[in-house]
Amino acid sequence: MAYKFNPAFQSDDEAVSNFIVRQPELAETLTILRGETAAPRVILVAPRGAGKTTLCRRVLAEIRTDEALHASWQPIFLGEESYTVTTPGEFFLECLFYLADDAGDASLKARYREAVTIADETLLLQRCLEILRDVAAASGKRLLVVVENFHMLLNDQIGSDRSILLAALADDSLFGVLATSVAQSSDESSGRPLDGYRILPLRPLTLEECHALWASLTTHDVPRARIRPLQILTGGSPRLIHILADFMRTPSLGDLMENLNQLIDQNTEYFKSQLDMLPAVERKVFAALLDAWDPSTAKQIAEAARVNVNTASAMLGRLSDRGSVIKEQGRGRSALYYAAERLFNIYYLMRRRSHPSSRVRALVAFMTEYYDRDELVATTAKLVDEACRFEPAKRADYHWAFDAILTGQPETVRARILAQTPADFLQSLRQDGLPAEVAPSLIEAEFHESDGDAAVDRLLREAHDALESEDADRAKALLVEAATISPSNPMPFIQLAFTHLQLHEHEESVRAAERAVEREPENPGTHSMFGLMLSFADQTEAAEVAFNRALEIDPSCAPAILHLAHLRARNDDADGALYLYRRAAALGELTDDATAHFARILMRQDKEDEAEAVLRQALEDHSDRSEARHLLASLLSGTGRAPEAIMLLRDVAEHGDDWMAWADLGAFLSAEEEFAEARAALDRSIATGADSPVIYRMLANAMRNLGEPFEAIAKLVDAMLEKHADDAWAWIAAGDIYSASRQRDRAEKAYRHATTIEDGEPAWVRLARLLMEKSASDAEAESALRKAVEAVLESGACGPMREVAELLVHHGDDDDALELLNEALAANEDCYCSLVLQGDIAARRHNEDGAREHFEAALALNDIGVSALTGLARISAPSEAQALIGRAMEADPDNPKCLLARAQLTDRELQFRIEDGSEALKRDPDLTEARLFLAPLEAKRGDIQAAIAHLGAALPELETRRELIPSFVDTSLELARAGLSNELSALLDSEEGRTVEPLSIALKLNRGETPAVAKEIREVALDILDQLHAAER
């Protein structure tokens, strides 16, 4: 097994045939040895596993097989393990040993044995150099000393006499040097590179090099886009690529871990010494970076290392200057940092972090990105099969790998993997996930309602009633009075805390809760309530302290367990949340909401079996739990068991006859496109007292899909509005129903009425969209759009702001759209859609740097996002664009945007570009961008009629999508230059041509006409005319 990683054991033929990458570095080294450039002294500098030994072996093979080099050089290959060398004399004695051993010359071996007996360092050095000169003179060759770990030999082993060794090796008539180093070899006294040595860095393999090496090792010629995860995982390290190639050929997690362990064993002392040499704070920051694996910002590392950002940034800067850390530009102005040696990450995770998730997480990330779905399913089956050869207690690595593989996979893939997984493995997986200890019993946290004072009880009830009546000031006053009457009673302060919370007065709620704790410091309930108020105030650490204090007092305090679990989940500590939810489940204290949270975390980790068991148990104990019911139905549907989900929902509805249960059944049947059954269930929901406009909207949708006449749908809307006349959302639902039935006038009236009712502001967004579908230039559409902007800014929600920003783009207001998108991203910095829209705006403005920044930020959130990939492709060089489009096509081959992006590649034949563009338009007839792209291409191949037809079909869309006007003008100018000016004028003289009147005027001016138009239009027309003539010149 050890030989697998050691190129020194290869034959010359193997060294040549196995040398796939590093060809430029090989050529440069050989050029130096042929005497065509500087002195024959080269140091190969690279991290461990980068291929330094492989390159040295390849150079030796070339010397032995190339006639000219063989005549010039006699190689001496010193191994990595030259630990006995501590003086210059011993260095050349080692050279003599290898030379005599390789040559098999008895007289030379005798002279070596004689030299070994010399104790004096000066005499030893002189004698060894004398013998080496004799050998060189006899053969007519110079001696090429190939020495590994040159930096260690010079600095650590020889030390102060290193200058004597370097002076001896500087004799070009006798020696050449090919050395390797894991650090920049420099003269320590000056900090400059060694004089006379060419430093040749072996950089991480590029994507192309990774692809070439992978294809050679695995004999699989996979698309380059699939190699990117491999490059990320290995950091471009050839040695790690070799290890993963072995895994790909015969997927064995056990062998992979053994190989990695062996590799780490070989380098543990090196890595450990590198860490130990660092100052404490710098070591702490570096350890946090190694643990993170992924490129991280200084802020992220600061949080992980528990230091401030300035300290983390300074330490990372030092590590970067030293070459231990790579610094790259991240999103915006932030920098990203990662370890220069990926092997260092693996060492840290495997040696410093013993948990299986640390050992396998990077491998699984690679597998899930590299394999296509069929391959991933097949490989997972092989890993499970291997795991089942071990007893359950020894399957930890396999459990974590299996668990991580499922994460993020589509439901269909998860279902296939789970279907082929033996029950034995799933059982051991579940057992491995259970906590070791759960509380055996539950002791409820109790509050005393009062100290037996009827007056306090009355005040508490009156305060509750006042708050229900929205008289918050009276409620507060009553609670303060109750606290005055009974100073030791925590209840007035508990109720006061919740009153402030309801009013979003978080500082006041925290103070009130703190007063409750002061009154009963040994009551776990007061601490739990205090933690809840702190968590709503975003004081996460203090909240966790409060919850833990409650659990110290009573380990079975259910509110504290559940609140703390929710807090952990909110802070992305899924494992911590799961432990607490399992603890609450064992105590029988899971609420409906907590059950749903618990199950969702399990489903995100693809532990569907456990999630299903949790949900079924909850419904068995409490059949009325709607959240658990919804989620279980979703889980069953997602795992290919929709009929089972329908049966579950129907059974609950029929036995309880609750309108919400019937609504759940109707909604699910609608999603399954079982509209007749859905209609019956939703009818039943309304008949049993449905109290939500949403049910009416779902029923209208089912009726419309069944082809029922609009009159029947209109009667349903009337019934809803009669029941909910003062509910803004009922009128919004009415507008949605009318709009879906293409009753635009009725929809407009409903939306307008909704805006006049309390809480009806969201109707402005619907109204603006509806009016803009008629005409973006209409004054009423403009007014509704401005009201929509005000409404979404007031709401502060990302989704509505992004939606209205898109409407602003269609209206031609890019500046306002950008302002709104900035607000949306302030509310949710991970909004992919907002980043893509920002990129589109920047690209239209020819701000390529800005567009690239936004598209790349979007891809950092979703690396297979088609809109971001194709958007970035539009502003990239052809080779890069082709790779981006390849990724998009692989992610969603049926997406018309992918075909249009491929059609826009300028290095393809005209016919192929037209075919792709036409197919994109066929798949999405509303893709106006495809028409504007195809028009000049059709003109170029002589189909004038098709060119004008495309432009004519695009023209009406400009009224509602003003962002397309610049593209329409550019396309028209291309056609005008092709001699189609008259045909364009005929098209633009229509009513719809008013949207681009300056273009029509420019064409007339170009023909010598002098149309009478407003000054503003004429000025724009003259600008367009300048564009036309500029291109002609």
Give per-residue pLDDT as tens, 387-436.
777 777 666 667 767 766 765 566 566 666 766 777 667 666 655 543 33
> What residue type is assigned to position 687 of the chain?
A
Q: Burial-class residue 343 by CB neighbours within 10 Å (0-12, 13-18, 19+).
A: buried
CB 194 within 8 A of CB 150: no
Q: What is the pLDDT of residues 972-1010, one digit of tens each?
A: 999 988 888 888 888 888 888 888 889 888 888 888 888
910 vs 900: CA distance, rounded Å: 13
Helix ranges restricted to H, 520-539 = 524-536
- Among the residue ranges 34-48, 187-201, 685-699, 854-868, the one predicted with the least confidence is 187-201
CB 577 within 8 A of CB 595: no
**Closest C-alpha among 521, 525, 522 to residue 498:** 525
Residue 761's pLDDT band, with cuts at 50, 70 and 90, is confident
Q: Is 410 helix (H, G, I), strand (E, B) or coil?
A: coil
**Which one has a higher pLDDT value, 192 or 627?**
627
**Closest C-alpha among 625, 624, 566, 620 to residue 592:** 625
Residue 130's pLDDT band, with cuts at 50, 70 and 90, is very high
What domains can you pick out in the chain, each with its CATH number? 2-203 (3.40.50.300), 210-433 (no CATH), 456-554 (1.25.40.10), 590-640 (no CATH), 940-1033 (no CATH)
**Which one has a higher pLDDT value, 391 or 202?**
202
User: Considering Cα of 928, then 932, then 885, then 296, what sign does the dihedral take?
Assistant: negative
**Partners of 186 in beta bridges:** 193
**What are the tokens at 225?**
């886009």
The pLDDT of residue 992 is: 82
The pLDDT of residue 507 is: 87
Averaged pLDDT for residues 911-923 = 89
Q: Which residues contact 188 (CB under 8 A, 6 or more apart)?
A: 155
Phi, psi of 949 (to 5 degrees): -65, -45
The pLDDT of residue 410 is: 62
Helix ranges restricted to H, 571-607 = 574-586, 592-604
105 vs 127: CA distance, rounded Å: 18
**Closest C-alpha among 705, 707, 763 to residue 734:** 763
Residue 186 pLDDT exceeds 50: no
Angle between helix axes 866-874 and 848-861 (nearest 10 degrees) is 160
The pLDDT of residue 143 is: 92
Phi, psi of 619 (to 5 degrees): -70, -30
Q: b/e for 418-438, b at 16 or more Cβ within 10 A? A: beebeeebbebbeebbeeeee
User: Considering Cα of 747, then 749, then 753, then 755, what sign does the dihedral take?
Assistant: positive
Mean pLDDT value across the chain: 79
Q: What is the pLDDT of residues 675-725, one digit of tens each?
A: 899 899 899 988 888 878 888 988 999 998 999 999 999 999 998 888 888
863 vs 232: CA distance, rounded Å: 13
**Which one has a higher pLDDT value, 932 or 190?**
932
Residue 5 pLDDT exceeds 50: no
366 vs 232: CA distance, rounded Å: 8
**Which one has a higher pLDDT value, 852 or 105?**
852
**What are the tokens at 427?**
């059982």
Residue 798's pLDDT band, with cuts at 50, 70 and 90, is low
Instruction: Tell me which DSSP letter residue 864 carries.
Output: T
Instruction: Tell me which DSSP letter residue 278 carries.
Output: S
Percent of the chain with pLDDT over 90: 6
Pairing status of strand 142-147 against strand 73-78: parallel
CB 311 within 8 A of CB 302: yes
Phi, psi of 326 (to 5 degrees): -100, 135
Residue 479's pLDDT band, with cuts at 50, 70 and 90, is confident
The pLDDT of residue 1 is: 35
**What are the tokens at 608?**
């569907």
Place of tokens 């759940």: 664
CB count, 10 Å around CB of 8? 15
Q: Is 6 helix (H, G, I), strand (E, B) or coil?
A: coil
Q: What is the pLDDT of residues 307-363, one digit of tens each?
A: 888 788 888 888 887 667 888 776 556 788 887 766 666 666 555 544 444 445 555
Residue 8 pLDDT exceeds 70: no
72 vs 207: CA distance, rounded Å: 36
Averaged pLDDT for residues 502-519 = 86
Element (H, E) at 176: strand 175-181
Q: What is the pLDDT of residues 65-87, one digit of tens each?
A: 888 888 888 898 886 666 678 88
The pLDDT of residue 347 is: 60
149 vs 45: CA distance, rounded Å: 10
The pLDDT of residue 797 is: 67
**What are the tokens at 868?**
């971001």
The pLDDT of residue 950 is: 92
664 vs 677: CA distance, rounded Å: 12
In the chain, count H helices and then E strands.
56, 7
Residue 2 pLDDT exceeds 60: no
Pairing status of strand 73-78 against strand 41-45: unpaired
CB 433 within 8 A of CB 449: no
Residues in the chain: 1033
**What are the tokens at 194?**
């060694």
Helix ranges restricted to H, 407-471 = 411-420, 423-433, 454-468
pTM above 0.85, yes or no: no
Q: What is the pLDDT of residues 669-683, one digit of tens each?
A: 888 888 899 899 899
The pLDDT of residue 491 is: 87
